């Protein structure tokens, strides 16, 4: 069985304040040229996407520096809903695992407060993730922390990737499953939109 954890991407997709809105332009139709074709323009950090260390570290790795197996692995969803600062028991988290945090914040994607008052990871939780040697963390909001993005940088220094704007995590709380995180294969990217798929029995 599969669950799509990816936010749709269209011209109405919300973007981080100051970023340009996605554009999807028809450049050819069957009627005009015999085929349909569209042109798209968007930030690499739009919709469900993955951040590489280069996003915030001058000498950090780009997505090209990670092999494909780094984007596939066993994952678990932890319920941290109703927590303003995320502190959670990580005793069951395993080395090289993908850890997703269900905050419930994705229900606000069409609300004006989506980019304010969002839940954030505590420094203690981030440090425990580093000690556990997880390879990817993800969250159902636009960021695991706010400016000056100290948590981002903590994780990036240990080559832990970050997935943002996940959806549909509620049905996977407490479960382990095989996760596929498939970013666009853009050379030397600091991040990229990705399709995130959960597979489980």
Angle 73-76-82 (CA atoms, 0-180°, nearest 5)?
A: 145
Q: Which residue has the tokens 């197996």?
A: 69
Upstream peptide bond of 148 is cis (omega within 30 degrees of 0)? yes
Identify which of 131, 157, 133, 155 has the alpha carbon closest to the alpha carbon of residue 145: 155
d(CA 129, CA 76): 13
* Torsion, CA 13, CA 15, CA 21, CA 27, rounded to 10: -50
Q: Known catalytic residues?
A: 55
The number of residues in the chain equals 201
Contacts of 94 (CB under 8 A, 6+ apart): 74, 132
């Amino acid at each position: 069985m599969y669950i799509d954890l990816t936010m749709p991407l269209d011209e109405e997709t919300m973007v981080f304040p100051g970023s340009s809105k996605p554009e999807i332009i028809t450049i050819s139709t069957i009627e005009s040229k015999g085929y349909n074709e569209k042109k798209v323009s968007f930030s690499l950090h739009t919709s469900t996407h993955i951040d590489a260390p280069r996003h915030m570290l001058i000498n950090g790795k780009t997505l090209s520096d990670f092999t494909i197996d780094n984007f596939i692995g066993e994952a678990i969803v932890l319920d941290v809903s109703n927590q303003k600062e995320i502190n959670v028991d990580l005793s069951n988290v395993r080395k090289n695992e993908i850890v997703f945090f269900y905050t419930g914040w994705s229900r606000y994607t069409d609300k004006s407060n989506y980019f304010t008052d969002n839940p954030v990871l505590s420094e203690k939780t981030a440090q425990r993730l580093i000690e556990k040697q997880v390879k990817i963390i993800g969250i159902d909001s636009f960021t695991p922390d706010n400016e000056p993005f100290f948590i981002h940088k903590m994780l990036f220094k240990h080559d832990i990737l970050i997935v943002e704007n996940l959806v549909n995590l509620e049905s996977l709380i407490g479960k382990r499953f095989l996760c596929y995180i498939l970013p666009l294969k853009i050379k030397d990217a600091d991040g990229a939109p990705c399709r995130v798929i959960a597979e489980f029995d």
